[in-house]
Amino acid sequence: MQSQPEIRGVATELLASKGLRLISCNSVQTLWAGYGHICQIKACSNNTGVSQSLMFKYVSPPSSKSNKNVRSLDEGHIRKIFSYQVEQYFYTYLAPQMPNKIAVASCLASVNTTAKGANTIGMVMNDLRDSFPVAGEKRAELNETQVHAALKWLAGFHGFWWSRADEVRRAARVRPPLEHFKQHKSTELGPQAGIWLKGGYTYLATRRKEYDGLKMDEDSEWSSAFCEPGGSGETSVAELAAGFLCSSAVREYQTLIHGDVKSENLFTTIKGDAVAFFDFQYVGLGLGVCDLAKLFTCSVPLRMLVDDDEAIPTASTLEMQQGEETLLRKYHDQLQRTSGKRYGWSLFLTHWETALVDWLRFQASWGFWGNTEWLEARVRSILDDAQWLAWIKSAYEASERDWRN
Ligand SMILES: Nc1ncnc2c1ncn2[C@@H]1O[C@H](COP(=O)(O)OP(=O)(O)O)[C@@H](O)[C@H]1O
Ligand SMILES: [Mg+2]
């Protein structure tokens, strides 16, 4: 556990590099497994004497060296340690390039160092609540205005980075946690860490244990639906969808995705007509629809997705309804406008459906929350669709051939 003097020491040094002096530093929240703190800081300018309120995200996880036996292959621990370094890279190198209308915190100063095997990450950021005072709450729905604002932010973010996809690709250097760790035998990514080669924290390559659990789960309808080999050699639907989403077939459409889009990772204006996202620990290369799959399931009110938001019958199927389509069209239009690129609507929809399948695979293996009945019914209808199945198989096989050649 980090001590107050230790946290204040790092904050003081970072502020000094910007001509600021620390007045106070109070922890407002501890981070996952006690790996760090979010602190509210008061600082004063050495030149003008004007004081300001800032946020300080400070992370100092137990080093893998001191915990070698227990921790060295703990996927969750390694994922977290990498994630803070990814976030520091994002705020330091990528966020400053973004236009003001895609609101993110600006990072005044940051550090990512290792001394005696212990990694320290610190980020001094402006307090987003100055302009976005309303917090999206934990596992809560957004209201309609906030949903539109969140979609607009996402289309702007995805569109901006889609037009700079080469730069995103150069920065996307951090491979799945265990793979990276096994090769480098270290949880330090170094100052040039980069962002995740695949954004998000739910993709199949990092969730094999959960997937094996689902395979054995005789009570879940998704066990056979996702995990049984599906006519294409030994490849299950879950593997087809996950494989497709990171294959060369989607390269042209890949952008930077946030990776953890939910109400508790955003603030909004009082009116709810603009949002700012934070928590960029899982930012990386991916399809924008993967961010949308989580948002629609976890933070969009059901009545915005379906015509009749009475309970969706168990085991039913559900085609895309007007509400879902309206939201997707709005996002799709703005994505194309911001990026200046074209994304055919029907291709976009097949990518969307594949993202829903992949997201449900994670929830079915990890635990459900949000619009579960909607998600399950939508995925039943996608898996019932012979055209979708034929398409995903051939797309997957084509990308496998590509990869072998
Ligand atoms: N720039 C910021 N301005 C204001 N509050 C922030 C800022 N960054 C983080 N926070 C607060 O700190 C909390 C935790 O930060 P977050 O980056 O989401 O870490 P984690 O989800 O790992 O706990 C957020 O829910 C938010 O309340
Ligand atoms: Mg968070």
Query: pLDDT tens, 355-368?
Result: 999 999 999 999 99
Sheet holding 36-45, edge to edge: 20-30, 36-45, 51-59, 118-126, 107-115
Site to probe by mutation for ligand 1, drawn from 26, 27, 29 as the one with most ligand atoms within 8 Å of Cβ, is 29
Cβ distance 142 to 300 under 8 Å? yes
Q: What is the mean pLDDT of residues 37-50?
A: 97
Q: How many CB atoms lie within 10 A of CB 38?
A: 16
Spatial distance between the Cα atoms of 156 and 102, rounded to a whole number of angstroms:
6
Judged against a pLDDT cut of 50, whether residue 322 lies above it is answered with: yes
Predicted pLDDT of residue 69: 44
Judged against a pLDDT cut of 70, whether residue 247 lies above it is answered with: yes
Spatial distance between the Cα atoms of 359 and 238, rounded to a whole number of angstroms:
10
DSSP label at residue 370: S
Ligand that lies nearest to the alpha carbon of residue 83, given by its number in the listed order: 1
Predicted pLDDT of residue 138: 75
Predicted pLDDT of residue 193: 85
Instruction: Give the model confidence (pLDDT) of 86-121 as tens digits.
Output: 999 999 999 999 999 999 999 999 999 887 777 899
Dihedral sign from CA coordinates of 218, 224, 227, 232: positive
Predicted pLDDT of residue 385: 96
Judged against a pLDDT cut of 60, whether residue 43 lies above it is answered with: yes
- Give residue 72's pLDDT band: very low, low, confident or very high (50, 70, 90): low
**Which amino acid does the sequence have at 334?**
Q
Cβ distance 75 to 63 under 8 Å? no
Q: What is the mean pLDDT of residues 39-44?
A: 97
Q: Which of 297, 304, 308 is nearest to 362 (CA)?
A: 297
Q: How many CB atoms lie within 10 A of CB 310?
A: 8
For ligand 2, the distance from its centroid to the CA atom of residue 14, given in whole angstroms, is 23
Spatial distance between the Cα atoms of 176 and 153, rounded to a whole number of angstroms:
27
Instruction: Give the model confidence (pLDDT) of 187-240 as tens digits.
Output: 888 777 899 999 999 999 999 999 999 999 999 999 999 999 865 567 999 999
Dig out the tokens for 36 from the structure.
Answer: 């760090």
In terms of phi and psi (left: phi > 0; alpha: psi -120 to 50; beta: otherwise), the region of 269 is: beta
What are 110's strand-pairing partners? 123
Ligand that lies nearest to the alpha carbon of residue 87, given by its number in the listed order: 1
Spatial distance between the Cα atoms of 357 and 23, rounded to a whole number of angstroms:
50
Predicted pLDDT of residue 238: 96
For ligand 2, the distance from its centroid to the CA atom of residue 261, given in whole angstroms, is 9
- Give residue 54's pLDDT band: very low, low, confident or very high (50, 70, 90): very high
Q: What is the mean pLDDT of residues 154-175?
A: 97
Dig out the tokens for 317 from the structure.
Answer: 């199927």
pLDDT, averaged across the chain: 92
Locus of tokens 């790996």: 35
The upper half-sphere exposure of residue 142, i.e. CA atoms within 13 Å in the direction of its Cβ, equals 34
Architecture of the domain whose range is 134-404 = Alpha-Beta Complex (3.90)
**More confident site: 252 or 309:** 252
Q: What is the mean pLDDT of residues 380-388?
A: 96
Predicted pLDDT of residue 63: 67
Predicted pLDDT of residue 61: 84
Q: Where are the domains of the chain?
A: 4-128, 134-404
Q: Which contacts (CB < 8 Å, 24+ apart) does range 3-10 have?
A: 6/60, 7/37, 7/39, 7/56, 7/58, 10/58, 10/111, 10/120, 10/122
Q: Which residue's CA is the closest to the ligand 1 atom numbered 8?
A: 278
Equal fold, 4-128 vs 134-404: no
Percent of the chain with pLDDT over 90: 80
CATH of domain 4-128: 3.30.200.20
Contact residues of ligand 1, CB 6 A cut-off: 29, 31-32, 38, 55, 105, 125, 127-129, 265, 278-279
Q: What is the mean pLDDT of residues 180-190?
A: 81
Judged against a pLDDT cut of 60, whether residue 278 lies above it is answered with: yes
What are 239's strand-pairing partners? none
Predicted pLDDT of residue 70: 43
Q: Which residue's CA is the closest to the ligand 1 atom numbered 24?
A: 265
Range in 35-49, 189-203, 323-337, 356-370 the model is least confident about:
189-203
Q: Which residue's CA is the closest to the ligand 1 atom numbered 20?
A: 31
Residues 6 or more apart whose Cβ sits within 8 Å of residue 379: 356, 357, 360
